Amino acid sequence: MRRALLFILMLLTACNQGPTVERLGGPTMGSSYSIQYIREPGGPAPAQVQAAVEAILNGIDQHYSTYRGDSTVSQFNLLPANQCMALPADMLELVSLGQQLAEQSDGAFDLTVEPLLDLWGFGPQARHARVPDPQALARVRQRVGYRHLHIQGQALCKDAPVQLDFNSIAAGHAVDLIAARLQAMGVASFIAEATGELKAVGHKPDGSRWRIALELPREDRQIARQIIPLNGLSVSTSGDYRHYFEDNGRRYSHTFDARLGRPVQHDLAAVTVLDASALRADGYSTLLLILGPQRGWDFAVAHGLPAVLVTRAEGGFVSRATPAFERAVKGE
């Protein structure tokens, strides 16, 4: 009888447990991912969520990693000119977005920058970071250009030996897939982050919105320049302060203007974009960073993008937020 009463008390205690905040993470894409979610009674355990998230990330790696010779993108990159290759529907979706961003930026944003990344020392085939000689740069630029790509049914075709690099948008795509999977598992409130791209959905246990810190673009340490509340929006920040090299006193970042064949050279240090889609936020933050402080600002305002542009100035940084960004942060 006593054991039966104890068992009933244990059941009642379990039933009375409220929501808990669960956290998990791990390595991915040469960086890391992290998940915070509110686990309601009966909700999925962290081990179950982690298995689902890592299955998605492994799929992203299999399709989009240029560091794997057996990935889908590496197989496409090996094709000679005037060849086509059938691709999964989600890869064609990313190519379509990349082509749209290229058109909107007059070719500054371009998914076919892989040969340039290798030449300058940022890609998987690079030996060391360096400023290339003009002849080598001229040769490689003949293998770059989004207009050499076209989608034919379920296949992607090229009329020149171009090579794709999805690093500017693949992480955002991964976050969208993770967010959809969490919601399908019955998780209503979470922050999903991969390599710095993230999406916040729902509320904390106290009913308030998730709060996200936006960093100053500094190499030496992490400093928050602004903390914003979010629900249902993704955040993407692109900057020139993580991957770069210096030569003769000049900084060369891994952000390329494909029209010029070289890293961007302006004072725009970082761009943050908000969007319901992490994929779009990822793409547009890169596009604005390529365009630079004035052209990027003009583009963001003209297209109604919720964005913050952080420019280097003497002694520090200057931030400008678009009207759409101010409205989004206020929840309007």
Q: What is the pLDDT of residues 16-72, one digit of tens each?
A: 467 999 999 999 988 899 999 999 999 999 999 999 999 999 999 999 999 999 999
Q: Quickly state the pLDDT bin for 261 (edges 50, 70, 90).
A: confident
> In 3-state terms, the chain is what percent helix, strand and coil (to 5)?
35, 30, 35
Q: What is the mean pLDDT of residues 215-243?
A: 75
Q: In whole angstroms, what is the distance from residue 76 CA to residue 167 CA?
A: 15
Q: Which of 298, 243, 310 is nearest to 270 (CA)?
A: 310
Least confident of 197-201, 263-267, 304-308: 263-267
Q: CB neighbours of 310 closer than 8 A, spacing ≥ 6?
A: 216, 217, 225, 239, 268, 269, 270, 271, 272, 317, 318, 319
DSSP at 148: G
> Residue 159: pLDDT above 90?
yes
What mean pLDDT is reported for the chain? 88
Least confident of 114-118, 159-163, 226-230, 253-257: 253-257
| C-beta separation of 171 from 295 below 8 A | no
Residue 298, φ and ψ in degrees, nearest 5: -60, -40
> Residue 295: pLDDT above 70?
yes
Q: What is the mean pLDDT of residues 119-124?
A: 76
Q: What's the pTM value of the predicted model, to 2 decimals?
A: 0.89
The pair of structure tokens assigned to 291 is 């365009």
